Amino acid sequence: MPLLIVLALMALPFVEIWLMVLIGQQIGPAWTIVALFALTASGTLVVRRAGTKAFREADAAMRTGQQPQRGVLDTVMLMVGGILLIIPGFLTGALGALMALPFTRPLLRWAFSGWAERRMKKMRERAEREFATLGVHVPGQAPGDRPGRAGNGKVIQGHIVDDGPER
C-alpha cells in the first residue's frame, strides 16, 4: 500500500499537466489559466476561513474549559480541501472542492468514520494477537483466552535465596 501511494504521488504532476492540456484545448489557454487562478484563490479563502473557525472554536473551548463542540474532522477536511485547491491543477482542485463543499463533507465524514473504525478494529486485533504471543494480559481479554497459555503470566524458573532477617 505505501508503494502504491508513492507511485500515485509521483504520477500526480503528469496527470495534472495532461488534464491542463486537455482542458486548455477545450476552453483555451487563457480560460485555463483563469480557472487555475480561481481554484487557487478559492483554496486560499477556504484555508483562511477554516483557520479562523478553528481558532475561534479552540479559543471558546479553552475559555470555558470544555471540549470543542464541533468535530475536528470538519475543520481538518476544510484545511486539506483548501490546500488541495491551492495546489495548481484540476484533479487536486476537484478533490479539494469535494472536501471543502458543505454538502459533500457529511458523506466524506461517514466514509472516513467507517474506515477509521475498521482500521482501529484491525489494529486492536493485531495488538491482542502480538500481546498474547508474548504472554501479556490485554485489558478486556480473559486470562484463559490466550492461545497456548494458562494462568495470568509467564513462569520463570529460579530459586529463593534467604539472606537472613530483613532490617
pLDDT in tens, 124-154: 888 888 877 777 665 655 555 444 444 556 6
Residue range 31-45: average pLDDT?
94
Select the more confidently predicted residue: 90 or 112: 90
- Give CA–CA dist 100/81, Å, rounded: 5
- Give CA–CA dist 89/40, Å, rounded: 9
Do residues 104 and 98 make contact, with C-beta atoms less than 8 angstroms apart? yes
- How crowded is residue 73: how many other Cβ atoms within 10 Å of its Cβ? 14
Given this model, what pLDDT does residue 148 score?
A: 46
Helices in the chain by DSSP H: which ranges?
Answer: 2-27, 29-64, 72-86, 90-100, 105-134
User: Does pLDDT of 44 surpass 90?
Assistant: yes
For the entire predicted model, the pTM comes to: 0.65
Do residues 149 and 137 make contact, with C-beta atoms less than 8 angstroms apart? no
